[in-house]
Each structure stands twice: as structure tokens, then as C-alpha cells.
A and B are shown apart, each in its own frame.
Chain A
């Protein structure tokens, strides 16, 4: 079976794909799996291993002896969707946590931060979305000097 890093890398890439499946960079370009591991472990130590085991088990239900990371994109997407619609709230919660973390890794500020949390380069998601980042105010939306 592949490592947790590979599995979560494939997972994040399923949510926010990059080349060759998508023209612009995605989760893999920023190694979003590190973000996922950090937060899964924060939520519950050992959760990374459990989540990866679950993803691999769901993968091997589809294709014998194949881990999640080796599945084609379409299969990975369907596994995530099935988890999101599962009868068990716990399964749905894991799907939504994984999806939210993958989205947050890319579209939040993490990829632009240094170890102290300072934004030292433009995060990938700001680049992709065209957002210019926090601003102290928007002059065009303030009242004129005299009115």
C-alpha cells in the first residue's frame, strides 16, 4: 500500500486538480498533503492513518489490491462523493473534512506562509482566483473628501 502522503496527495488532487488533468496548478503543486496530515493529526492523533486506510479499503472494493492513490481520477471522485452521501454521519464528516482541508490548502493563505505564519509570497489560491489579498480599505468605496 502507498504511504499516507501519497494517498492524501491523490485525495487533495482529486478535489483541486492540476496538470495533466487541469490546465492550472492544483493541490499537488503546493504539496497540500502536508496541510492535510497536520490538521488530521490535530483533530485526532492517528486520524491520518485511519483515513488513509479507509480510502484504500474503498479503493480496493472497486479494484482489487489497488490503493486510492493508484485509482483514476473518476474513481477517486466517485469514492469521495459516495463518502459524502453515506448513511453514516461519521463517514460524511470525514468526506467533508477532507474536501474542506483540500480546498483550504489551496484557496486559503497556507501556501504563501512561512513557518511563522507570515504571508511571504502570493498563495496559490489567490493567484488562481485573482484575489489581491487583504487590503486596509477600498478608497473607491469610501466617501469623497467633501460631500
Chain B
């Protein structure tokens, strides 16, 4: 991995693994730098994904490897207790122990991490929607998002073991928007998805006067449009133990004949969502209608 945290929370900042940054952020205080019984100094931090203790390798120049983090696999004084259950869902876990994403598996208990991600969704639902709309080149109605959120809650996607603050908007779409209708939603003109749908028989795009870059998907008169969003194949690949590549397939199916009419691989942006959450820029003004929907639908866990 190439990032570390110094607090074991979902919201905690991620820092690049680098000698200067480590020095700045931790000032080499305990428990982040410790000496073993032989007097050898080691640097520790927290895995940004599974929140387990990691040892930072290659910070000093004595070994010629690019700086990276390695799970300790055991308890380290002053750092969170080693959690083997969480480790197996960590994309940076060893290949032998890593459990790949699948749609059936859910965590059995509501732990602190689950609560933090649930609260993050509730307090930042407008920004979750902002990120996913920009990623998919669509704009959907509040009613659509209320229903996607309903589905997210009913299916207890907040217990999806691979959920993190990085992939929250993407996994929200992955499970929440599953099999929802495209009809009546807005698509960005000239985007791949727009062009694929515009070619279809019975599809009509209507320009709006709200936003000139988007058009609403309508049916031609007398023809029922049965186009549905579909997501599949969530994958995590920690390339060379460093950069995390997370992807899913984004498709539109025609449920009348079972054909897939659009297909695109979506790569998750590792920093987009949390940067948007922290951003004070005016473009990220809060959408109170969406926040009200989240407050109403997401009752406190426990």
C-alpha cells in the first residue's frame, strides 16, 4: 500500500508513505516509532483499508525498496488490536488470505467501522450522489436516489465487508441502483452511455432548460421502455502491493429482451469522495433535499 493512517477511523486522513511525511505527521512519537529488544527502530502506522497495524518498510534509506506498508499480523503496543476478521477483507492482505468480493457475504456484526461508514453515508449522502453522478455521467431525480438508498438499507449493504470510505459512492451504486429503471433520468450529452442509448429504437432524449449538458431519457410515444441499470463484478487489485485498483462493471440492460445495450468498466478514484467530503468549494454546496432523505431513511444503527 502507499498510504497510511495514524488514527483507526474511517474518516481519518490518509498520508502517503514517505519519510518526510511520516516525520511530520507522527514526529516519530510512540507508538509510531518503537525500538525492539535489540534496539532496532521500527516505524508503525495503521492500514488505511482494514485499520490494522502496519509496519512501514523502506522509510530510511538503509533498504533499497520503495516505501510501503506491511501488515504486522500481530498486536503492536499502542496501536489497535490485530483484527484477523477485518484483515481477510483487506485488498492489501496476502494473496493466500485475501477474500475476494462477492455479493452474498455480509459482516455478521455491527462494529465501529460499520457505524462510521453508516454515519458517513447519512451525513454526506448528497456528496455520495455527487460523486456517483459525475462518475456515471447521469443525473437522477431525488425520488430515484431515495429508492436507491432504500435498497441499500434493505439489503444491508452497509455490512458489505469490502466497504470503505474510498469506495462508498461506488458500492452504493453497485448494490443500491441495481436493476433500477433508466427512464426519466438525465444523461450527459455525448457521454458513452448517452451515445449508446441514443442509438436504440424507441429511445428519445429530451433537452431540459435546467442543464444544457444533460438530456432526459424518454420513450417514443406508445412504446414502453424497459431499460435497467445493472452493476457487477466488483474487484480489488493491489498492484505490486502498492496502488489499489478497484473496478466494477456498469451496464444497461433491455429487460424486454434480456440484451445488454451498454457496458463500461468503472475504475474507482481512491481520493475523489473524501476530497469532496472535505472540500469547502462552492460547487460542493450541500443538497438539503438529499440530506433530508438520508436522515429520514437511515435510522441509527443499534
Whether both chains belong to one complex is answered with: no
